Structure 1
Amino acid sequence: MNITPELCHAARILAHIDRSALSQESGLAEDQIAAFEEGTGDLGEAMREKIGTTLEALGVIFLPEDKEGGAGLRLKFTEGETRRILNWEGEGGRVNQDDVV
């Protein structure tokens, strides 16, 4: 997965998380993420992979560039599925492992 600064920023916005939350989830420093997104710093392949994996776990799917068009993003769940998941999570009950995302 080739995460560019633009894809990283767009994926973060699509997942509704700020840099601080991405930093906490990925284990990378917030200033490293900011520098990467702003194009003033490079993370290296391993750290870009970690950010991509983290964003995928948050429901973002990275679409590769192909002959039809450039690289892009989409959400893992449709709007209806997201509403149902939020409803299920709000029903209460005993907390258990969440492997939906």
Structure 2
Amino acid sequence: MTITGPQARAARILVQWPREYVARKADLSGEDLLAFETGAGMFDADASLRLRKVLELGGAVFLPEDADGGVGVRLKFTAKDARALDRMENEGGAYGSDDV
């Protein structure tokens, strides 16, 4: 499934990642991502796939057009799940070897 610029922007906002971070992770320039999100630019299939995969890693789910409506994007996790994941990711602490 190819994604649109507005879908990419909505997904990036939903996962709360800055444009430069997403661009770097998808091996794109921030300027090219901005152009894509605003409809002033396009990506080839490979770049579009890289962008989609990065946003999906953040928890975005892209919805195809169907009989009930247009294309869309939503979060994979509920707000409660996202808060729990944020809490777990920020716990930190020392780690040790596991010599079982």
**What TM-score range do you get, normalising by the shorter chain?**
0.7 to 0.9
* Secondary structure in structure 2 of the residue aligned to 1:66: coil
Distance 1:62 1:86 in 2: 22
Q: Does 1:4 align with 2:4?
A: yes
Distance 1:45 1:30 in 2: 18
Q: Which residue of 1 aligns with 2:36?
A: 36
* Secondary structure in structure 1 of the residue aligned to 2:13: helix
Aligned-residue sequence identity (percent) comes to 38
CA RMSD of aligned residues (A): 1.7
Q: Does 1:48 align with 2:82?
A: no
State TM-score, norm by structure 2: 0.85
Q: How many pairs were matched up?
A: 96
Q: Identify unmatched segments of 5+ residues in structure 2.
A: 96-100
Q: Which residue of 2 aligns with 1:99?
A: none
Q: Identify unmatched segments of 5+ residues in structure 1.
A: 96-101
Distance 1:36 1:87 in 2: 32
Distance 1:91 1:64 in 2: 36
State TM-score, norm by structure 1: 0.84
Deviations along 1:14-63, whole A, 9 cap, x unmatched?
A: 11112111111111111111111122211111111110111000110001
